[in-house]
Chain A
């Protein structure tokens, strides 16, 4: 049996938990992300499993690329992954359905149990029918989290199949809220072993000729990866919830160091790092080796962090990912004074009542966040070239453009690096620390 040694980094953020799996040379094999909820132990288990699942797909990619199968690996693996995800999703739907029924067995539903259970049955049937379209080749999913996809479908069918008298929409929503926790907190270990085989059959059954012709070799490649042992040589945890990780103290690193090293690994020229996460903002200076030389972070108040944007999105009844795009439509900036989440909510309503346009207000809010970040950056020693922006908020285009213009105004020309994988920066740094502890090389 093949053995591949892997190093894991886990970043327990306040909003999402991320994992990165590296091989011994420091090459990224897999990533995992989930919403943290309030259960750090489960979240870390889930992202760890997910990173290892992705690692197996990555190993498969290496295997195919290095063989005569090179050239079809993207097409084949793309289809295999979609079928795999679909089976995983269906499995979770099964868990959800049984959890829903268990919740509906509670005594208080006795009078209307039959109607409720009938509705649940029809909702779940409807949800299953949607699954293939979620995982088709051209599908654009609004979220990769099971909770989000399932909730959107569930609510839609619940509206259709509820009736005010026997199985009300409110009752059905309450059942979903209880049942989804059960599903989310069930770690799906062994997913690759369970689903890879059936996903492969599904892929081959619908595959074009060039793939079917190579069926025996593809089967053996998948089997080889499935039976490979992923031996976890070391694991380092970081992030807001790191104290809750079941690791010994020496395997826990501060997120300041992890973000510094992760940013250095992504962009070797990095000297200043800004990380805006859900709960805090960090300004970090690093030297040429990724060693932190100075840092500043917000005090106890999470004003101006990711949570602030989440709160504003809720207030505006928008999705978090829609916020930045809408702000970019602004034609006339509005000056928002407060980065305090509570006061900003009040200020937002105040501005709306004055008739100011939503995109303009949102642009002002993004600028307010970045002004606060600029002050932390100044405290930490300013912005040197190159400047790397990490964390979930780096995905927000309005936040990025506000930052860009403030940097230009205050410091002049700076190279601003943002990786599409910026949300994994802390996990990457943690994995690199694990690699170093295990005596690996310094490649990143």
Chain B
């Protein structure tokens, strides 16, 4: 198993990278060679990292397209589809490069036409609230959960969950010239490996850069890497940005924790609160 040290101060230090690279050399590569019967080929790895970096540029462009008003994408419910290829089997493949090229073209076209994101019920017409979301979605009732947002005209413009497989929009790119170091930095820099202060900094940046009206935390029971400290994050973000936070509780995988009436109630109450604040007097 590869041990990746937690970044308590939110920064990758050289000794972190050395530690992970050393494990790649002494543990991971020999084991993979033994299991696969093939020699480690650094040139091939570099080629793949170059392809990955190419796809990453387009991926980041897509994520940042949510800075537009209206946003052409939903960066949480739609975002989880966009992270699929690069976070899993298509990183470093020409298919991955092609996917993000086509995606970028499609989103560019939506911006040109002034269209909102695609939801299961077609294009989202009205964007009343721009939200930043922290925490994983609920996979067991994904569509129902999404509907609660788009029914209220809430579009997610940035999310932390789409950064669990790498903070590409923070500037990270796979580097073909430093293949193993680059892989180490990738592992170290994933969102859930950051300490709380770095997570708060990132969310604050999203709230400001994406001109969000609010931020929502979906606190799940089954992933403590996410959930620990979220109430503290909520308070700090409210204090720093003046933007009100919402808090809902469900789970990634356990359907028993998804109570639709309760969650819908909180989302509705939250957006009505935003509306009231926006109006300045009781709406």
Contact = CB atoms under 8 A, between A and B. Distances in A.
A280 B262 contact: yes
Nearest to B219: A299
Interface string B233-268: 001001000001101010000000111011001101
Q: Max chain A CB contacts within 10 Å: which of B238, B269, B281?
A: B269
A436 interface: yes
A291 B269 contact: no
A286 to B, nearest CB: 10
A256 B269 contact: yes
Contacts of A442: 281-282
Given A240-B261, A289-B282, A299 B249 contact: yes
Nearest to B264: A243
Interface stretch (B20-28, B43-51, B63-71, B271-279): B271-279
B244 A294 contact: yes
B269 A296 contact: no
Given A256-B273, A379-B247, A433-B282, A300 B265 contact: no
A20 interface: no
A255 B269 contact: yes
A197 interface: no
Nearest to A282: B269
Contacts of B247: 296, 379
B282 A300 contact: no
Given A254-B272, A293-B244, A299-B249, A436 B283 contact: yes
A293 B238 CA distance: 10
Contacts of A253: 272
Contacts of A297: 262, 265-266
A364 to B, nearest CB: 27
Q: Max chain A CB contacts within 10 Å: which of B231, B245, B276, B277?
A: B276
B259 A299 contact: yes
Interface residues of A, number: 26
A290 interface: yes
A245 to B, nearest CB: 14
Contact of B269 (A257, A289, A290, A381): A257
Given A289-B281, A436-B282, A257 B266 contact: no
A256 B265 CA distance: 9
Contacts of A433: 282-283
B27 to A, nearest CB: 41
A442 B283 CA distance: 11
A290 B259 contact: no
B259 A254 contact: no
B257 A300 contact: yes
Contact of A291 (B231, B238, B262, B277): B277
A29 B266 CA distance: 31
A278 B28 CA distance: 56
Given A294-B244, A432-B282, A254 B261 contact: no
A255 B273 CA distance: 11
B272 A294 contact: no
Nearest to B268: A254
Contact of A295 (B269, B281, B283): B269
A292 interface: yes
Given A240-B261, A255-B269, A379 B282 contact: no
A158 interface: no
A287 B220 CA distance: 30
A64 interface: no
A291 B276 contact: yes
Contacts of A299: 249, 257, 259, 262
B236 to A, nearest CB: 13
A218 interface: no
A11 B256 CA distance: 28
Q: Max chain B CB contacts within 10 Å: which of A255, A292, A296?
A: A292
A280 to B, nearest CB: 7
A412 B277 CA distance: 30
Interface in B199-247: 231, 235, 238, 244-245, 247
Interface string A373-403: 0000001010000000000000000000000
Given A294-B238, A296-B247, A436-B282, A257 B272 contact: yes
Interface in A407-444: 432-433, 436, 442
Nearest to B235: A381
B265 A254 contact: yes
Interface string B51-72: 0000000000000000000000
Interface in A245-270: 253-257, 261
A294 B58 CA distance: 38
Interface in A272-288: 280
A295 B214 CA distance: 14
B273 A257 contact: yes
A254 B269 contact: yes
A280 B263 CA distance: 12
A296 B247 CA distance: 7
A296 B266 CA distance: 9
Contact of A292 (B231, B258, B276): B276
Given A254-B268, A280-B262, A297-B266, A290 B249 contact: no
Contact of B276 (A257, A294, A379): A257
15 contacts: A254-B265, A256-B272, A261-B282, A280-B265, A291-B276, A294-B238, A294-B245, A295-B273, A299-B249, A299-B262, A300-B257, A300-B258, A381-B235, A433-B282, A442-B282
Interface of B: 231, 235, 238, 244-245, 247, 249, 257-259, 261-262, 265-266, 268-269, 272-273, 276-277, 281-283
Given A280-B265, A291-B281, 14 more contacts: A240-B261, A240-B265, A254-B265, A254-B273, A256-B265, A257-B269, A257-B273, A291-B276, A291-B277, A291-B282, A294-B245, A295-B269, A298-B262, A379-B247
The 8 closest A-B pairs by CB, nearest first: A300-B259, A254-B269, A256-B269, A299-B249, A292-B273, A254-B272, A300-B262, A254-B268
